[in-house]
Amino acid sequence: MSENERPEPFTYDGEVPPGETRHLRYEVGETYLGDPVEVPITIINGTEAGPNVFLTAAIHGDELNGVKVVQEVADRYDPDDLHGTLVCLHVVNVPGYLAQQRDIPIYDQDINRSFPGKERSNTAERMANKIYCRFVSQCDLGIDFHTSTRNRTTMYHIRADVSNPAVDRLARAFNANVILDGEGEATSLRSVATGDGIPTITVEMGKAHRFQRPLIDKAVEGVNNVLAEYDVLPDESATEAKWHKVLGGEQEKRWLRAETGGLVEMEWGPYPLVHEGDTICTVTDHFKREEHAVTAPFTGIIVGVLENPVALPGHPLCHLARIDRETHAEIETEIERGEFDGYRTLGLGEMADGEQTE
């Protein structure tokens, strides 16, 4: 955006003029009772021109850390601060949020597998379509907040298709230690928006059903970094670039699964680095007669772990991403510098199972 460009209203099917903050509830459907289902949205349209940035939380209804991040971001900035517009969708999946569950309670539809949605399709697609057409598609870039699914926890990281230079810029600007590279599910918000030329990243942070303050603080700062990078906050500079690493793509990622049923004891930690052959956890029977150690098949970084301490055969225990020698040395240095402090307790967690991610 050039300096002399004039700020414009943000239009959905209403309009927020430059210099105004609006809190609104936008109807995306109806309940069985015929009452409206309304998404809480804050739009802060800056007094100066600049990019439109969307933030979305609770597309999965029980993933709460992002809800707190969006609440704080929406409260933090005034139109006078911004060259551009912030579009904050506080809770996308309202029915799931009310039930405190991931999917829409009716027929368990996943909104994050329903983008861009259709006007005349199932409930999730209709909701996704309204959100996408009215708000997301009017934006220039976006950040979608998630946590692990319940009973697990995920390491604080970014998911992004870094082969796309515009996404790579956004992912780096957010300034998290770990970026997991990949396109994501074809009908997720991130993939669809990115495919439409709206670079979008997913932030994965911790556990469902919780507010985890240290992670929330990091993410609020991450948003500020992004706004600084894109000159939405022209006077701010991003926090000093951290060490970070892009994992995935060609590198191997694997879910280690339980082979026996029993009680799970995590042995890894306090840092997420494990060496080939290290015991990650053990699974014992109730009589402690049998103990199965689950060991690292290769040297890597733990990106997700089980939290619920009971398992049965096939249950995912730990998500491990392979790292090369150079990365290994870098991570060891960063551990010494304290970059990974608190990862065991805050979760390094899990990311979910196959289709359960994002």
Binding residues for Zn ion (CB under 5 A): 60, 63, 146
For 343, phi and psi rounded to 5 degrees?
A: -70, -35
User: What DSSP state is assigned to residue 104?
Assistant: B
Our CB check for Zn ion shows the closer of 189 and 256 to be 189
Q: What token pair was written down for 224? A: 């500020």
> Rounded to the nearest whole angstrom, what is the least distance from the CB of residue 97 to Zn ion in the complex?
12
> Rounded to the nearest whole angstrom, what is the least distance from the CB of residue 204 to Zn ion in the complex?
8
Our CB check for Zn ion shows the closer of 63 and 103 to be 63
Q: How far apart are CA 225 and CA 237, in angstroms?
A: 7
Bridge partners, residue 255, by sequence = 319
Q: How far apart are CA 336 and CA 127, in angstroms?
A: 46
Report the SS3 class of residue 68.
helix
Our CB check for Zn ion shows the closer of 60 and 190 to be 60
Q: What token pair was written down for 169? A: 């810029």
> Rounded to the nearest whole angstrom, what is the least distance from the CB of residue 124 to Zn ion in the complex?
14
CB within 8 Å of 201: residues ≥ 6 apart: 142, 143, 144, 158, 159, 160, 167, 170, 171, 174, 190
Our CB check for Zn ion shows the closer of 60 and 134 to be 60
Bridge partners, residue 143, by sequence = 55, 201
> Rounded to the nearest whole angstrom, what is the least distance from the CB of residue 332 to Zn ion in the complex?
31
Our CB check for Zn ion shows the closer of 38 and 353 to be 353
Q: How far apart are CA 76 and CA 61, in angstroms?
A: 24
Our CB check for Zn ion shows the closer of 239 and 308 to be 308
For 271, phi and psi rounded to 5 degrees?
A: -105, 155
